Structure 1
Amino acid sequence: MGHEHSKYGERDHGHVPYIAQKTQVGRAKAITGNKAGATKLDIKLPPKATRTEASDYEFIKSSLINLLLFSRLDRVTAQRIVSEMYMLPVLAGEILIQQGDTGDAATKLFVVRSGKFEVLERRKDVMFKVNTKERGDVFGEISLMYDCPRSATVAATTDASVWVLERDVFRHFVQASVEDEKSQVQIFLNSVPLLASLRPEEKMKLVDAFQEEVYAAGARVICEGDLGDKFYLIKEGEARVLQGDKEVNRLFRSDFFGEQALLQDEPRRATVNALTSLTCLTLDRRTFVAVLGPLQDIMKKEKSAEVVNQRMAKLRPQGSAALRRPTAEVLIKNYGGHVAATAAAAAGPAGVAAAAGAASAGSGKSRQVMCDGHLDEVLELLKGGQKMQDEHRDHSRRLVLVEGELLGEGAFSRVCKVTEESTGRVFALKRMAKSAALQCPDHVFCEQHITRNIAHPFCLRQYASFQDRYSLYMLFDLMPGGDLMDVLVAEAKVIKYPVPDKNSLRKGCLAPKMKMWQGLEESMSRFYIASIVLALEYLHDNSIAFRDLKPENVLIDAQGYVKLGDFGFAKMVETGGRTYTFCGTPGYVAPENVMGRGYNHSVDWWTLGVLMYVLLTARQPFTSPKTQDPMEVMRRIVDERWPIKYPPYMSEEATDLISKLLERKPVKRIGMLQGKARDIKQHPWFAGFDWEGLAARRIDPPRKPKESDSAKRKSELAEAHRGEPKEPPPATAQEMAEWDRMFRDF
């Protein structure tokens, strides 16, 4: 298993103790009840805090309106969010934000109400003043999206006050607003007889396909006799219907017109004018066909009950099966390695007790601990080993793993090479500290469940999982070839390419050559991208969104084939469902992920477009002009006016496919249309590609892994951890009891 890199999302909660002396904000918890659709939250305010008054609303709104996350909120949602903000006084000299703060201290946005603040950054142990904040200024927007350490210190230079917005409050109301809006449109669609043959999940797709259009009072929406291909649902306002000069009907909220346009071009039978300001949700026939196919074909089909996908059945959790499985011994040996190699399997508190009471063997730098493991997993891994013979019956339930080199690390996990002693089989062992995993246990269990049940040649497989008193472990395929980032670093180069300018065109001269980065050759990239398409197609067919596709998470085996690895952000998303968590890596996240308005596996096709761009150009599409500000990158991602620049050496077919993957409206994105992944496979960039041969691993990889690909990275990693303590940090009895309770089913 290749190395991991720090990512942002639910599971990246820091575990740094909160230092109350550093700030007056305190540890206010924003939400005590978080049910979608609720309109009021109970907030426990910190000392000296005051709730928002109605008179402050316009001031706060004017301060927030230009922020990325607030720019597209409707008026009601914005008002609900602002009403839950609270005022906090800050005395002169007090620190409001401390550079490096994580956890609860990094989950708030601030609007300056009064006074002045200075923004300080520590550079080489020296504090530099980089900015000032006064009334109406806002800071901390990125804290509403994901966990990352505060990038600067903010201190009051005068007596001051701020309005505070908690991340959970913001997310709660945005999600409630989106779900309410989507449910209303679904109700509207249920009233349209022409669409009665659509299944619920098909109607949900249409919900995302509608565009909002606003007409001023007196404006003409459609004209009698004109040809049209657009269907209208009235969201707000009133309209009247005319045939000739005679008014024949009035239309109000939830009424619809123009539905026959979804079938064919035919003259409009009436004129529709806006009587008041009119907001309509519109859907054109071309979009309808791209998303669902021709309506005529759908209407011909017999409406049948939805068939449950058999593959989904085996991927769904089956209760606490971990507690019912027989146990076996797991022994992990560590010979002077980088971590303490104790392991206990998922047998609940009994397994932890066994680990605690086990006697250490060996001497010197060698350590080993006997623990409990799952019998079925142990027996499966020992097939063909000498310990399965009758004369070694006593050892047939013991799995012995010997740790080797450190392969990689993530935000709170490490991966090392291990060898099963009796068979000689090698694996990758991922270790996660319970103290960090406790911040996001759902992600841990989801990764364990998904990787245990998936079976695809281009997806990483999990063979066993177990735990000791301090850590969780998962045993994976070993991917000795590193990852796609290693390949890109090895293959990328600076080239000189002719780029015509005005002078050369005017004079008829040869175009001057400019230096530019080039990534992998397109033929090599095509092999890797095609493999990922097959993996994503499999995951999506099983209702799994991967959610963190990037070069570091595409691992390479000994032959040169790739597998999707690190399923820490993967999530089951049922047909027609959506999830709201911001997660992924800035620069790769999809627009619908950034805005927090709900998404599904659409984000994977977006990140495939980013990955393809990165492989071909050796740079990211949204970081040029160069910026280190993640909020600026995400503004570019959601801004439809911000153009993506393609290098001149990239083929037209590659440019076209990337542009279709980086479609900002998910419902129009290739991979999300009626043909799903088939549309990508049939794109001209893949013309003549042997998809069946790739799926059967009959195609020779274009590049064989080299020892030098990841040697430097591994060496730096080993050096960084040389001499660190082998024993885990001490934990209180209360902390360990909480770990036992949370991970007893692991």
Structure 2
Amino acid sequence: MGGTSSKPVEQAGVAGRSRAITGGGGGQKGKQGLHKLPADTVKAHPEDYEVLEAALAKLLIFNRLDPQLQRRIVQEMYERKVGAGEILMKEGDTGLAASELFVVKSGKFEVLQRRQGQNVRVNMKERCDCFGEISLMYDSPRSATVAATTDAVVWVLDRAVFRYFVREIQETQVSQIELFLNSVPILSPLTKEERMRIVDALEEATYPAGTKVIVEGEGGDLFYIIKDGEAIVYVDTPQGQRKVNHLFKADFFGERALLSAEPRMATVEAYTKLVCLTLRRDTFTEILGPLEKLMTREKSPQVVAQKMAKLQPRGSHVHRPLAEVLIKRRKKGRQGDTWELVRARGHLDEVQELRKGGTKLVELDGQTKDANTLVLTEGPVLGGGAFSRVSIVAEESTGRTYALKRMRKSAVVQCPEHVYCEQAITKNVAHPFCIRQYASFQDKYHLYFLFDLMPGGDLMDVLVAEASVIKHRVPQGGWQVGCLAPKVKMLQGMSEDLARFYIASIVLTLDYLHINHIVYRDLKPENVFIDSQGFTKLGDFGFAKVLENGNRTYTFCGTPGYVAPENVLAHGYNYSVDWWGLGVLMYVLLTGRQPFSTPKTEDPMVVMRRIVDENYQIKYPPYLSPQAKDLIARLLERKPAKRIGMLNGRAHDVMNHKWFEGLNWAELEARRVTPPRKPKDSDSAKRLKELVDVERKTGGKVPKESAEELQDCEMVFADF
């Protein structure tokens, strides 16, 4: 665990450590994760689709699916030959042997069950009969043995395939409808849960071209979202009807009907065949209550309090007793080094859990401390930034080492929301590539977090160690190609294989955070740490934020050079900024430079102007692979809606990119791969020496807060 530094953006030819700024207060990973079929596998033929759909329609789990989804699933079924006398499935089988459903294409099967020690035939299966339905739901032991009585062929449907497509299609459809609802201002007071309830209540209606869906002046109780087709909007004028709008898919109309039966303000006519999702006012009221009350509720003090409460972690410290923390810290003085004891109070649930069975009473200052007292001995500095410093600490009862992040209260009192978000988020994240928080506490002047210790430094340390100046042939004219082109010196970052490992780990991390409604907002090499094995862990969640109900945030924060255009322009943003940050990070790791730093400038505003300028072309070194350049370009798409990671497949689109071809995402997330690079002691040696030198020079210089400032800090962080 470390902090950020305020060094220049470019230093010694390698992208330097950048200072962050703020403007104010499980499952399968993509289709490639599916079981690969043998090369000679025969999939169901198109002429078989209707037969299969009819056969599967008998099954409860299948017949309620959308017809398009049914067709997509049967397209993935394949044939398996079964010889006469061969056992297709065996009673009691579990795991992979119990993960498939079968439909008989030809031949006959007998179904046998063990009864009083004997196999008894209980049924026969012939063409179009199905068996094994429960295997599509979960891993359950086979309830019978099925054996072929003749040479036979079955169609096979694998659970992973079935669940993959059911989830993919349903998530796509629900997300699309939810997105439509998010665009309706009158529904803005609704929570995500409430919007999802509306999704379930929507009904589909179809109107032929030329049909007047609503008529100006008439009453109505229906709200419409266009699912497919086009519509024309007219209003009556003294000169006759006048066209005022042309509506397309995802547009909506009639939303005022959810409030009252007031007369329609315009006529809407189907321009083509029009398919709409509709919601009646009485249905809305039935499932959520009157919309007027929901709109009023949004502004009430109770709702504001509820929103603040959502920032509290599970098992919030509000309900936890405070515990004593003692920090033994070496103090520099004219007479030599001495030890000072800092007393703090805090919440120690996680660290106390780790100490169970291994705690012991600690002798300190001639007194025996209770086993619940946390005693930490502070060691070397690991990192430092504008608001914080990070050092190694040892927990005395167990000897385990951690990273201790310390923040001066007076330095962060103007933006406490960042501190509380970091506290809540790092306590609750549970991903192998995220740093974990074990405790949080405070003394009179400081706030503290106890984190995982990351001895391998950060990605900037790795980049500095791996970057090199190379000679690469660059054509200077039309005739100078290949071996005739002169060699030009240029900076190269780490290898693409090494960068691929790190970037893939971060993709999995972002996917996890976004699924949990967390936008990170400060992705850069200095915030990606390396553990003792060589795996990454994302840390420093000071700018992370929970986005609930599909909300957007407008706070400008991040690091110049890494911020996205929508952040710079204050257009409002969500998870899109993290994918942009990933594109910048990937460019930096591969080239040793930032993508918007040419021509070189020390002015962050120049960099940000380039970021939003669509005419500014990013220059790619010639040694980058086409796949790498393509992925970076798609991540650095200036329009958030078109940016990879924000498209229909979200993170899966990134995972499926050719640059990651051959990567086993499931194994990576399970940490079952061998990291391509082990941490080296020399990686962060230079940086640590610089930090120690800074500490030695400034260690005694601390701000002198007034009594009023200290009281203000105490009030703001009373619930920390």
What range is the shorter-chain TM-score in?
0.5 to 0.7
Contact kept, 8 Å, 2:474 with 2:485, in 1: the verdict is yes
Aligned counterpart in structure 1 of residue 462 of structure 2, from 471, 481, 487: 487
SS in 1 for 2:21: coil
Deviation string, structure 1 residues 637-675 (Cα, Å, up to 9, x no partner): 111121111111111111111111111110111111111
2:337 maps to 1:322: no
Summarize the alignment of residues 347-496 of structure 1 with structure 2, pairs less than 5 Å apart.
365-374=338-347, 376-387=349-360, 395-496=370-471
Structure 2 match to 1:250: 242
Distance 2:275 2:580 in 1: 30
Distance 1:676 1:593 in 2: 19
Note the residue ranges of structure 2 that are not aligned, 5 or more in a row: 7-18, 26-179, 189-194, 201-226, 253-273, 279-283, 289-306
- Summarize the Cα distance change of 1:656–1:297 in structure 2 as closer, same or farther, 3 Å threshold: farther
- Summarize the Cα distance change of 1:650–1:741 in structure 2 as closer, same or farther, 3 Å threshold: same
Letter paired with 1:251: K
2:653 maps to 1:679: yes
Summarize the alignment of residues 623-638 of structure 1 with structure 2, pairs less than 5 Å apart.
623-638=597-612
The alpha-carbon deviation at position 470 of structure 1 amounts to 0.6
2:578 maps to 1:578: no
Distance 2:317 2:186 in 1: 45
Contact kept, 8 Å, 1:201 with 1:576, in 2: the verdict is no
Structure 2 match to 1:186: 184
- Summarize the Cα distance change of 1:514–1:420 in structure 2 as closer, same or farther, 3 Å threshold: same
The alpha-carbon deviation at position 731 of structure 1 amounts to 2.6
Contact kept, 8 Å, 1:11 with 1:440, in 2: the verdict is no
Distance 1:238 1:608 in 2: 48
Distance 1:298 1:498 in 2: 59
Structure 1 match to 2:679: 705
SS in 1 for 2:439: strand
SS in 2 for 1:455: coil
Deviation string, structure 1 residues 14-61 (Cα, Å, up to 9, x no partner): xxxxxxxxxxxxxxxxxxxxxxxxxxxxxxxxxxxxxxxxxxxxxxxx
SS in 2 for 1:427: strand
Letter paired with 1:551: P
The alpha-carbon deviation at position 200 of structure 1 amounts to 8.2
Distance 1:503 1:455 in 2: 55
Contact kept, 8 Å, 2:378 with 2:393, in 1: the verdict is yes
Letter paired with 2:371: S
Deviation string, structure 1 residues 316-341 (Cα, Å, up to 9, x no partner): 52699434322322111012369xxx
Summarize the alignment of residues 169-318 of structure 1 with structure 2, pairs less than 5 Å apart.
186=184, 250-252=242-244, 255-257=245-247, 316-317=311-312
Contact kept, 8 Å, 1:3 with 1:482, in 2: the verdict is no
Structure 2 match to 1:643: 617
Q: Tell me which structure has the larger Cα radius of gyration.
A: 2
The alpha-carbon deviation at position 732 of structure 1 amounts to 2.1
Which stretch shifts more, 623-632 or 4-13? 4-13
Contact kept, 8 Å, 2:473 with 2:486, in 1: the verdict is yes
Distance 1:723 1:318 in 2: 38
Distance 2:560 2:411 in 1: 21
Structure 1 match to 2:508: 534
Distance 1:660 1:688 in 2: 20
- Summarize the Cα distance change of 1:335–1:456 in structure 2 as closer, same or farther, 3 Å threshold: same
SS in 2 for 1:401: strand
- Summarize the Cα distance change of 1:582–1:686 in structure 2 as closer, same or farther, 3 Å threshold: same
Summarize the alignment of residues 107-122 of structure 1 with structure 2, pairs less than 5 Å apart.
none
- Summarize the Cα distance change of 1:434–1:233 in structure 2 as closer, same or farther, 3 Å threshold: farther
Distance 1:504 1:498 in 2: 13
Deviation string, structure 1 residues 435-484 (Cα, Å, up to 9, x no partner): 11111111111111110111111011111011110111111111111000
Letter paired with 1:645: K
Structure 2 match to 1:10: 22
2:518 maps to 1:518: no
Contact kept, 8 Å, 2:403 with 2:451, in 1: the verdict is yes
- Summarize the Cα distance change of 1:550–1:665 in structure 2 as closer, same or farther, 3 Å threshold: same
Aligned residues: 472
Deviation string, structure 1 residues 335-384 (Cα, Å, up to 9, x no partner): 2369xxxxxxxxxxxxxxxxxxxxxxxx9611113443335345224224
Structure 2 match to 1:103: none
The alpha-carbon deviation at position 198 of structure 1 amounts to 10
Distance 2:185 2:327 in 1: 57
Structure 1 match to 2:331: 336
The alpha-carbon deviation at position 9 of structure 1 amounts to 3.3
Letter paired with 2:380: E
- Summarize the Cα distance change of 1:664–1:200 in structure 2 as closer, same or farther, 3 Å threshold: farther
Summarize the alignment of residues 123-202 of structure 1 with structure 2, pairs less than 5 Å apart.
186=184
Distance 1:239 1:611 in 2: 56
SS in 2 for 1:526: helix
- Summarize the Cα distance change of 1:536–1:297 in structure 2 as closer, same or farther, 3 Å threshold: farther
SS in 1 for 2:184: helix
Contact kept, 8 Å, 2:351 with 2:438, in 1: the verdict is no
2:474 maps to 1:499: yes
- Summarize the Cα distance change of 1:729–1:636 in structure 2 as closer, same or farther, 3 Å threshold: closer
Distance 1:231 1:257 in 2: 9
Distance 1:530 1:296 in 2: 40
Contact kept, 8 Å, 1:452 with 1:462, in 2: the verdict is yes
Structure 1 match to 2:297: none
Note the residue ranges of structure 1 that are not aligned, 5 or more in a row: 14-181, 191-196, 203-228, 241-246, 263-294, 307-311, 339-362
- Summarize the Cα distance change of 1:393–1:380 in structure 2 as closer, same or farther, 3 Å threshold: farther
Distance 1:12 1:707 in 2: 38
The CA RMSD measured in Å over matched residues stands at 4.0
TM-score (norm 1): 0.57
TM-score (norm 2): 0.59
Q: Percent identity?
A: 56
Deviation string, structure 1 residues 530-577 (Cα, Å, up to 9, x no partner): 000010000000100000000011111111101111101101112421
- Summarize the Cα distance change of 1:373–1:581 in structure 2 as closer, same or farther, 3 Å threshold: closer
Letter paired with 1:702: P
Letter paired with 2:2: G
Letter paired with 2:565: P
Distance 1:736 1:546 in 2: 30
- Summarize the Cα distance change of 1:313–1:516 in structure 2 as closer, same or farther, 3 Å threshold: same
SS in 2 for 1:717: helix
Deviation string, structure 1 residues 202-252 (Cα, Å, up to 9, x no partner): 9xxxxxxxxxxxxxxxxxxxxxxxxxx9988999x9999xxxxxx996311
- Summarize the Cα distance change of 1:623–1:401 in structure 2 as closer, same or farther, 3 Å threshold: same
SS in 2 for 1:331: strand
Aligned counterpart in structure 2 of residue 551 of structure 1, from 525, 530, 540: 525
Structure 2 match to 1:272: none
The alpha-carbon deviation at position 699 of structure 1 amounts to 0.8
